[in-house]
Structure 1
Amino acid sequence: MELFSFWSWLALGTLLLILEVFGAGGYLLWIGMAAAAVGVLTFLIPGLPWEWQVLLFAVFSILTALYWWRRQRSVVRASDQPNLNLRGQELIGKVFVVTEAIVDGRGKIKVADGVWMARGPDAAPGSRVRVIGQQGAILLVERAD
């Protein structure tokens, strides 16, 4: 009696591929492909013992999962906007106007339609400062004159 037919392996592969649609991050895709490969081998070699089928499935699953894991870790996704969501970083080097005097190293500057906390040398309202860095939500500034 045959424990696993090629239909069983193809059904398992299909089930794993369906589950992958729900967001398994690629792992079930490759394990499903391993099950399908064992199904194809079982079709091509009808008398393949079930022990060998399970062993091949395990080996194929491990190899394909490792392949996927290594591939995901090696892919470097360089962004065309490296400072996206780092608003303060994209302000470095730009000049802004002091809205609230910088006294004892603390004040506020106008950036677009908002106001940011600033740290730097004392400066009167209306003077111009250049952003040289960022510490959290505080912009580090120097005089632009």
Structure 2
Amino acid sequence: MVQRIILELGPWSWWVLGLALLAAEVVAPGVFLVWIAIAALITGVLSLLLWDTVVWGWQVQFVVFALLSIVAVLLGRHFISSSSRETDEPLLNQRAQSLVGRTAVLEKPIAEGHGRVRLDDTIWIVEGPDLPAGTRVRIVASHGRNLTVESA
């Protein structure tokens, strides 16, 4: 069946596959299918050049496509990971980390190592030495949703 499809479409079968993968990438974006689509398009170019040769059977085409897919995915991952740049908001999605260094007043006293503080519109659970309510504290670290504080 695969052999019949490839023979009917000729070297254009790889172009059709590449364009179909690019369309699938648009429908379900994830920046993965694009690399496999590039491998299919490169295999299509090679097919246009080598179609009438004895060596360019469908088995060789699939091996070349598989190898090109692996290389394209690895190069794509390297390209994407190396293109991450510095941002002016490094803690944008790390709200608790962005609070480190701020000061606040204890809303609930720290007893047995746990208390509460209000920052902006949120009440945070704090850990630290036992302190009475109303004490000004400085946030020194964050651990998940809990903040570690010390007396300011």
What TM-score, normalized to structure 1?
A: 0.73
Partners of 1:119 and 1:13 lie apart in 2 by 55
Identical positions, percent: 38
1:135 paired to 2:151? no
1:14 aligned residue (1, 14, 19): 19
Partner of 1:41: 46
Q: Spell out, residue by residue over 1:53-92, the C-alpha distance to the aligned partner (whole angstroms, 9 max, x if none).
A: 4444344333323322443454545443232333222222
Partner of 2:3: none
Partners of 1:119 and 1:56 lie apart in 2 by 58
Contact 1:38-1:53 at 8 Å conserved across structures: yes
Note the C-alpha offset of 1:137.
2.7
Structure 2: 5+ residue runs without aligned partners?
Answer: 1-5
Residue type at the aligned position of 1:120: G
Partner of 1:29: 34
Partners of 2:134 and 2:18 lie apart in 1 by 68
Q: Spell out, residue by residue over 1:19-72, the C-alpha distance to the aligned partner (whole angstroms, 9 max, x if none).
A: 222336334323323332333333344513441544443443333233224434
Contact 1:42-1:48 at 8 Å conserved across structures: no
The 3 A distance-change label for structure 1 pair 141 and 41 is closer
Partner of 1:113: 121
Partners of 1:27 and 1:105 lie apart in 2 by 47
Partner of 2:109: 101
Structure 1: 5+ residue runs without aligned partners?
Answer: none
Partners of 2:111 and 2:51 lie apart in 1 by 85
Task: Report how many aligned residue pairs link the two structures.
Answer: 143
Residue type at the aligned position of 2:133: P
Q: SS of the counterpart of 2:130? A: coil
What TM-score, normalized to structure 2?
A: 0.71
Q: What's the RMSD between the two structures over aligned residues?
A: 2.9
